[in-house]
Structure 1
Amino acid sequence: MVVGWLRGRPIMEKILIANAIVILIGAIGGTYFTRRLEGQSGVALTLIFLASGLGITILANWLVLRATFRPLVEISRAMESIHKGELHQRVADKSSDPVLRSLSQSFNEMLVRLENESRQYSTRLFDSIEEERRRIGRELHDETSQTLAAVLISLDLAEKALSRCGPPEVVQRVATSKSLISHTIEQLKLLVYDLRPVMLDDFGLVPALRWYIQSHLEGVGPTIVTEFDDEGQRLPGNVETGLYRIAQDTLTNAVRHAQASKVVVRLETKSGFASLAVIDNGVGFDPGEAIYRGNHRGLGLLSVKERVELLDGTLNIESAPGRGTRVYVVIPLAQGRQS
């Protein structure tokens, strides 16, 4: 009955009541045993009462504080997880102490607010990045590329004029300049497509991924094996953009860091979800350590993690040193949102 009554009391009251009960029991017990053990050594009785009182006090306070401070331990663990970027952590607010229960509830409300603010910030950030990519791509295509094309035409006319009566070395220099500008224009086209692939907007995710793999990855590293669903099926724009950037980051990690000889890219679209898997047979790594330390691979994985969370998807990374890496992404699709 007393224990049940104490459960709903604030921590300070619990400690004061527990210690008051210990003192009361000590006073009654001390008086009783002093009369029963009259004639015994005073020093021995003092040591016995001191040891008994100290033991009972420590036990009573431990019993009171053990359950009371359990929510603080959970909050500490949750903060460690949050420090690693796991904002979905929550603390159980089942403490019998009203003050600590209120603390747990406030902590959970703070986490919800932080998660919502982080999601909104990430959404604005990725949207602004894509918009800036589009803007830079348009400027490079409409301004810089056109200017270089005009210079190339001028050099071509100059080469034709010089070929009749000009010094051979000058003609050769003009021809070399033409070759350099032509190469620059081709590289600029790749840069524009990298910033925002027109193919992604016009034809969809699968053609854009095929183009990226063929133009950037074939012949420069591991063998890339693609297993894609029907190319004609379209997904919502934000899903296609997110999966494309996720595939880019994971493939970049595999090519640059995995030291793999083979990478498999698998994309499936089913009723209600789309899944992406990137599997390599490389050296592997510790995913938690990479993300926590924030190295080059970890930054790419952190970007992948944020994009998956913004799409309400799930990310599963299976890897270990010497065992390759398997990245699985599943994105839910609302009914009627598949094209």
Structure 2
Amino acid sequence: MTARDSQIERRWDQLHTWGPYALLATGLGPAIAMADPRAHPVRWYTGWALVGCAVVLQLLWHGYRLRRPDRARTPSRLGTAYYVVRWALAFALTWLNPFFAFYAASGYMDADETIPGSRWQRLGLFASAITVAAAQTGGMPFTSGLQWLVFAALLFFNSGLQMVVAHLTTQETQRSHERKETIAELERTNAALQQALDENAALHAQLLVQAREAGVADERRRLAAEIHDTIAQGLTGIIAQLQVVANTPEREPARRHLDRAMELARHSLGEARRSVHNLAPVALENDGLPEALKKTVAEWGERTGVRAEFTVTGTAEQLHEEVSATLLRIVQEALSNAARHARATRVGVTLSFLGEEVILDIRDDGTGFDPLTVPARTSTGGFGLDGMRARAERIAGTLTVESEPGHGTALSARVPLVRHDQ
């Protein structure tokens, strides 16, 4: 319920509480001014007695409304009894003096609050209309047929008007009740949606933690595979060349083997430095993901001599560090694969920010391959397509591969857009 609705309901409550007092006082003033106690002493004292009873009745009902506000606003047998007694007092007072029809009109205000059932409410309004129409005719008792005719016309007009007003009031009350139910349902829906959003944010956080832990394990496996494939093999080659030198007395063959050993040592040193560099996304320490990808693609193009381009579409946002690291790793691995296997002349990398999703596309015009023939993971633990797909899936993303022998390769990674402060 809005503040405006609460204010309107409070004003209606005040009207129902103090209205009968005001209407009784409105009728009492002119009744006293027009009455002659000496001419009709019995009517005078009877009127005062009825006014006293009306005041006591209102005080009792007022006290009940204060003690039980919810029940007093709900139609009940007690409310019906109050309405009937008040109508009887108003009818008797109007019989004594027509000005008390003001008090009888209070029956128009709260029939829906005191009498249960629409049929009985209409009967209560009709009874109040009888008293008011009789006062408008000139007071009771009637002394001529013309008064009866005028009374019937006024009764028809008063009761008809009240029935129309009651019908419109009932419809407005029903619409108000429906609006309240709609608002309550919307509030429940919003609360459920907020709870779902909170749970989703918590799941995202948990997912990122799990991705970080799994990423550490994958980096260890990748580093172990690279040491085995490059550094360990290089050291084995160096040892073999040195053993040949030790067993070769001729100077020239020994020098050739030493040169090969030095070349293998330099190559192994380079591979060791590259492995250490790739162990952590150093490129993200000072730059956001778009800047880091731009530098990575440019450096790779200069190192390999392949034309490489990087593009950003959409409004760039600062991503969560785990999302940025995952996408950077995918690009690094894809470029490494392109350099080793694709024999491409052109590579394009596109980072797209689309609402609540980030899309990373990597395309090359290399030799291509049949994705169905690629093993899930090499025997040495290499970190190829299967590893890139696992990276994306750990942060609730996907990786799709489109390739055909002789027609290049296209990788597309789609991950949720998780912002830095989430």
TM-score range, shorter chain: 0.3 to 0.5
Report the TM-score when normalising by structure 1. 0.43
Larger Rg: 2
